[in-house]
Amino acid sequence: MTEAFDLDWLDLREPFDAVARNEALVDRLLARLPARPRFLDLGAGTGSLLRFIAPRLGRAQAWTLVDADRELLEAAYDTIADRAGAVGYTVSFPNKRTLLVHAPGGAWRVETVIADLAEAPRGLPLANADAVVCSALADLVSRGWVERMAGALRVPFYAALCVDGRERFLPPHPADHAVAAGFRRDQGRDKGFSGIALGARAPGVIAEAFGAQGFDVRSAPSDWVVRGRGVTQMPGMGEAAGRFLAELVIGHAEAARQQDRRGDRRIEAWMEARLDQVAGRNLAVRIGHRDVLALPKGRG
């Protein structure tokens, strides 16, 4: 079974993901797509990547959201419909499996597929996709998973928000190194994708695997930059930033504890100190990510 994620966490992180994603790479992807592109979104969760890309494309499009979690995909329909309604778009359900968002430039057709992605690309409807996309997925998968995907695809592959190992909590704390080391070890455990997770190696492995198949691969930074008094380019996000920072602190501490065989008290002290800083609105965090885009050469 692949790694599972909480609805509340996905909802909390969505605006921070949106700010972090590299828009130049997205624009490069969209420039290579046909008039009515079909997206296959892997590990789609509640559809945050759709909500980021679809308005930028601004024309008719079709999305197939793939995830192993039925609850997340059911929430995707509700969330997409609610967000569309909030900006004045009408929605309809022509059948039980399809949602249509009637946007000004053309309808967005949304369908879902429940599937465990561990053995991907086996069982995926690749023949019906003009682009395969994912967000916050590639660092969970194995090298074999990426190599199989690269060997199977003849269309663009876009992987957003791949961790790259750079992270910094400010102000400094004596246990920063111990927590970071434990967190990196946890990132490397098997996350249910047929092998050891790539973690910070994901951007490089994607570039290597798709480059070997003749793709033109480009990557760009897409860091989370969050401060207790707000997030870069997002004024008015102070309360959400505080909750987001607290989740980052707790998540790092819990992951480090899982890898700490000595029961080091330093990790607990680190978490308590960092949560106090969150409450005082004086913690800042940068978590390094990279977005990666692989385009097939000589096509489109």
pLDDT tens digits, one per residue of 157-198? 999 999 999 999 999 999 999 999 999 998 888 888 878 999
Contact 99, 77 (CB under 8 A): yes
Which SS3 state, helix, strand or coil, does residue 91 take? strand
d(CA 76, CA 275): 31
How many Cβ atoms are within 10 Å of 252's Cβ, its own excluded? 24
Of 22, 105, 112, the C-alpha closest to 61 is: 105
Which pLDDT does position 194 carry in this prediction?
Answer: 77
Q: What is the pLDDT of residues 221-242, one digit of tens each?
A: 999 999 876 555 455 566 889 9
Question: What does the angle CA 214 – CA 188 – CA 16 come to, to the nearest 5 degrees?
Answer: 80
pLDDT for position 300:
40
- Quote the pLDDT of residue 264: 75
pTM of the model: 0.93
Return the exposure string of 76-97: e unless at least 16 CB atoms fall within 10 Å of the residue's CB, then b.
bbebbbebbeeeebebeeeeee
pLDDT at residue 48, as a whole number: 97
**Per-residue pLDDT, 1:** 42
Cross-strand bridge partners of residue 134: 42, 159
Q: In the predicted model, what is the mean pLDDT of residues 272-276?
A: 97
Is the distance from CB of 288 to CB of 166 less than 8 angstroms? yes
Average pLDDT of the chain, as a whole number: 92
pLDDT at 136 over 70: yes
**Predicted local confidence at residue 235, as pLDDT:** 54
Structural domains in the chain, CATH included, are 7-296 (3.40.50.150)
**H helical segments located in 87-201:** 143-152, 176-187
Peptide bond into 121 cis (omega under 30): yes
Which of 76, 162, 148, 88 lies closest to 119 in space, CA to CA?
148
Mean pLDDT along residues 133-156: 97
Q: Where residue 147 falls among pLDDT bands split at 50, 70, 90?
A: very high
List the beta bridge partners of residue 21: none
CA distance 168 to 252: 12
> Computed from CA positions of residues 258, 221, 48, 88, in that sequence, does the dihedral angle turn out positive or negative?
positive
Question: What pLDDT digit, counting tens, does each position of 36-82 carry?
Answer: 999 999 999 999 999 999 999 999 999 999 999 999 999 999 999 99
